[in-house]
A and B are shown apart, each in its own frame.
Chain A
Amino acid sequence: MQGNTAIAESAIQAGCRFYAGYPITPQNEIPEYLSWRMPQVKGVFIQAESEIAAVNMVYGASACGVRAMTSSSSPGISLMQEGISFLATAELPSVIVNVQRGGPGLGNISASQADYFQAVKGGGHGDYKCIVYAPYSVQEMWDITQLAFDTADRYRTPVIILADAILGQMTEPLLKNKSKPLNQVKDWSFGRKRKSGDKPVVIKTLHTKEGELEALNYKLFQKYETIKSKETLFEQYLVDDAQLVAVSFGISARISKSAVNILRKQNYKVGLIRPITLFPFPSEIIHETASLGKRLISIELNMGQMFEDIQISSQGKTEVYFYGRPGGGVFTPSEIADVLKRYL
């Protein structure tokens, strides 16, 4: 299956029944697939007039308790930031897929990971977080989409799937694993049946009473603390005896893994830590690894974004290096192998 279609079909299997989006390359296969697939499962597909409209349509559908999703690529995701900030504040579950392309600006349609900051550090205004997943294979595009809908519902929060042009376009074999859908009654939503005299549902993000907004922020951050302790995901690969550990996510982790394999064959002691959730960031394992004196190198398709989180997490316990390429430039495994060798 192709990465983009894997996300689309997995969303269907996860019970997503509402999709709104606007055409942009390299994610067009998601709406194209859902345009005919949604009606088959009695779901709704709508092509919005803009990304701003699309994210707000998700805002509305999610408020009714329906599993809702939108997808776009970098410039379109920028347009959605206002809506994402509102979704987080109103505590409405939703899944937002960003098949990243080269930036800044209109950029190009090649693979990039330059939206790390935007996804992980907020993007929109205000103190909020989104759970951010970074798949690195078509299989994970599938599995993470299942997971994304569950965590979105469990924590009533927007979830971002941060993919890229290569993952979206590449085709790989796939096992159609199915997560157990959360059987959750969304009491808070407009969708629940109500009797006359029941309290009406109010969805709002304006809190002007003294202390009200502050209390809401504390509540959100309590939720984020729970997410940090329960939802952090990462993979360790040949780290135990490694002297140098690459830290990499998404497609660059895929490439870095191949580089580690190349070097292992030549008896170099290198390993890989691959954050699967970017928020929550696997700070503890980074800190532990750094404390063991293993040196770290961040490998990303940008000019050093996750790099900063690795530096913060390692707290000066070890040396942290960086190698990256911006603007849609993509490295090869041997290129990364050469870089790793330089730092060994």
Chain B
Amino acid sequence: MPSLDDYKGKTPAWCPGCGNFSILKVFKEAMVELGLEPHQFLIVSGIGQAGKFPHYLKCHTFNGLHGRSLPVATGFRLANNKMPVIVVSGDGDCYGEGGNHLLHGIRRNLNIKYFVHDNQIYGLTKGQGSPTTMEGMPTKNLPFGVISNPLNPLAFAIALNCTFVARGFAGDQEQLRFIIKEAMNHNGFALVDILQPCVSFNKVNTYEWYKERVYHLDNTYDCRNRVLAFEKALEWGDRIPTGILFRCSRPVFEEKIPFISQTPLKDQPFEIEKVNKTLKEFFV
């Protein structure tokens, strides 16, 4: 059985008090509880403070291009669909630079778990507005306030019939651990938007701000009802629901490619004889 020590990585260079610390802690705990060892899965990340996440753990790591984690993860899964693939990204990386890839990733429904550290700001470049920054909020690049509507990632994902859609909060470790484990056990694409206060550059969406607003979806909530889920996804303001908003089952992309559903591409033999036989047919 793995232990938390197995996951010990480099000391994080995040600001003291950053919401990423609790996500990191909870993630490790979830992996230990799931009995997963660091060599058994891959984390793909892009650019941003969240992009550093796998460096602060011990696991297989693919730190790729800004916004392109999902295409990398897609290529990886199609070449090796026996290894679980997790993508860790931020709101800028996932919803801005990588927005187009998210759309098509959800459509394909590969078995990829996408955890988005959503702090509603660009942290790495020090305080510019991100796709989820609230309208009207002054930022470094929009000193008179953001003039675009923020993206609602959960409504977006539910509209696309994403097979697992959840929202967690870095300040609610118990629920976040539950969501991460559920996402890992889900067969298909999972989008988990994690509200994560940025203590340095977002002075509006603070721990207090979130704590006053977040509430758990209770046991009576039916996460298989897509219309209800969409309604819940639109709830943002005085009250913000957290938990699993939506789940459904759709065939997984990898299973639709018959020859990799049994043996991963990486283990397929290179049968030169077969090619030769076909080639010879052309020389008759």
Residues A75 and B66 in contact, CB atoms below 8 Å apart: yes
Q: List 17 A-B contacts (CB under 8 A).
A: A23-B128, A24-B125, A28-B125, A28-B128, A32-B140, A35-B141, A35-B142, A36-B143, A36-B144, A39-B144, A47-B128, A47-B141, A49-B99, A50-B96, A75-B65, A106-B63, A106-B65
Interface residue from B96, B97, B141 paired with A32 (Cβ < 8 Å) = B141
CA distance A273 to B216 in the complex (A): 68
Any B CB within 8 A of the CB of A31: yes
Chain B: CB-nearest residue to A28: B125
Q: Residues of A contacting B19 with CB < 8 Å?
A: none
Q: B97: nearest residue on chain A (CB-CB)?
A: A50
Residues in A16-50 with C-beta less than 8 Å from chain B: 22-25, 28, 31-32, 35-36, 39, 45, 47, 49-50
Give the interface of A toward B (CB within 8 A): 22-25, 28, 31-32, 35-36, 39, 45, 47, 49-50, 75, 106
Q: When the two chains form their complex, are residues B67 and A31 in contact, meaning their CB atoms are under 8 A apart?
A: no
The answer to whether B97 and A22 touch across the interface, beta carbons within 8 angstroms, is yes
Report if B122 contacts A (CB, 8 A).
yes
A49 closest partner in B (C-beta): B96
The number of chain B residues touching the other chain, given as a range, is 20 to 34
B125 contacts which chain A residues (CB < 8 A)?
23-25, 28
**Which of B65, B92, B125, B131: most chain A CB closer than 10 A?**
B125
Q: Which residue of B lies closest to A24 (CB)?
A: B125
Q: With a CB–CB cut-off of 8 A, which chain B residues contact A39?
A: 144
B126 within 8 A of A: yes
The 4 A-B pairs of least Cβ separation, nearest first, read: A23-B125, A49-B96, A23-B128, A50-B97
B26-47 interface bits toward A, Cβ cutoff 8 Å, 1 = contact, 0 = none: 0000000000000000000001
Contact of A106 among B47, B122, B131, B144 (CB under 8 A): B47
Which of B47, B63, B129 is in CB contact (< 8 Å) with A47? B129
Q: Is there contact, CB below 8 Å, between B97 and A49?
A: yes
- CA separation between A24 and B124, bound complex, in Å? 9
Known: A24-B125, A106-B47, A106-B65. Is A35-B97 also a contact (CB below 8 A)?
no
**Nearest chain B residue, comparing its CB with the CB of A51:** B97
Known: A47-B128, A49-B96. A35 touches B143 (CB 8 A): yes
Q: A23-B122, A23-B128 are in contact. Are A50 and B141 (CB under 8 A)?
A: no
Q: Name the interface residues of B90-104: CB closer than 8 Å to any CB of A.
A: 92, 96-97, 99
Contacts of A31 in B (CB 8 A): 128, 141
Chain B residue at smallest Cβ distance from A34: B141
CA distance A47 to B143 in the complex (A): 12
In the complex, the answer to whether A35 meets B67 with C-beta atoms within 8 Å is no
Q: In this complex, what residue of A is CB-closest to B131? A: A49
Chain B min CB distance to A112 (Å): 18
Question: In the docked arrangement, what's the CA distance between A316 and B96, Å?
Answer: 50
The distance in angstroms between the C-alpha atoms of A8 and B66, with both chains bound, is 25
Inter-chain contact B140/A35, CB cutoff 8 Å: yes
- Which B residues are in CB contact (< 8 Å) with A75? 65-66
Please report the C-alpha to C-alpha distance between residue A177 and residue B129 in the assembled complex, in whole angstroms.
34
**B31–chain A nearest beta-carbon distance, Å:** 26
Digitize B231-255: 1 where CB-to-A-CB distance is under 8 Å, 0 elsewhere.
0000000000000000000000000
* Contact across chains for A23 and B97 when beta carbons are under 8 A apart: no
> How far apart are A137's CB and chain B's nearest CB, in angstroms?
26
CA distance A284 to B21 in the complex (A): 59
Residues on the A chain within 8 Å of B63, using CB: 106
A47 proximity list for chain B (CB < 8 A)? 128-129, 141-142
